[in-house]
Structure 1
């Protein structure tokens, strides 16, 4: 508050006058702000790996697991980390300024568990040929004696 009145009364050689005298001219020359604010902060495009986390600025942030394998655009502002894919927000976290932290949305964990269960069920079904309980043929041991021609022979420990 003490500096501004003093600064406005000084003549500045580069603008050929006092700043207070130039203010109306500067305000007249200013353009109107655009209707959409410009993007601020850092932006990154990342392909989401199988663990549905992305490392941004030394921290790991969770992303909706349905985005695994897809490219997601991230914007890091001073207070938020926002991930967008196909004009949908798929990650929204408070920005963490600490190092080596893992920030997880509980909804992402729940969805990942559901997707993992469905995938494992499909995999189990495919590995058994579509049958839930495979049928295995079984025989009496005496059948093997007949096959190998050992029927009726006396073995140690047999009682006849």
Structure 2
């Protein structure tokens, strides 16, 4: 456990439960000054006074829908999770529970990560990194190439100026 004033650090929900059980074993040995009893001696009386749990289940998933930015990462809590680069610029749905983070694009899974409970981490799937490294060679790109003399004519560098139908589009 952490000292008073520090933020507790938990690696996972299981780690939280382990630390809580350790703390409860110590806390339940001491007699509380105001109650004049140990907390474990009061549990039955406290439980009897509690209201029943509502019939509606709490949501099991955290959900978000967004357009994937160029860096192909989404942030959940303080962590960044990679998404397959093919989904860049497209709308994705991100779902997370206590154990995993999933991303879908048009119903197709584009990311699956184990949920990270540490803070300020970047989690990158090796397949996403490899896909990001691929590039199209310049000779395979289809880019319009205009003759340079067209620009000379537009800016009046050569005689003749603009002819009909020419111009910057």
Number of aligned residue pairs: give it: 98
Matched, 1:99 2:103: no
CA distance in structure 2 between the partners assigned to 1:70 and 1:92 by the alignment: 17
Select which of 109, 119, 126 maps to 1:89.
109
The structure whose RCO (Cα within 8 Å, separation 6+) is larger is: 2
CA offset at residue 75 of structure 1? 0.7
**Gaps in structure 1 of 5+ consecutive residues:** 1-5, 15-37, 131-160
SS at 2:132's partner residue? Answer: helix
TM-aligned CA deviation for residue 47 of structure 1: 1.1
What whole-Å deviation, never above 9, does each CA across 1:70-100 have from its counterpart, x for those lacking one? 1111111101000011111101000001111
Q: 1:123 to 1:39 in 2, by over 3 A?
A: farther
Larger radius of gyration: 1
Match of 1:136 in 2: none
Equivalent residue of 1:126, what SS? coil
- Separation in 1 of the partners of 2:83 and 2:130? 12
Go from structure 1 to structure 2 and tell me whether the alpha carbon gap of 1:122 and 1:64 turns closer, same or farther (over 3 Å shift): farther
2:73 is matched with: 53
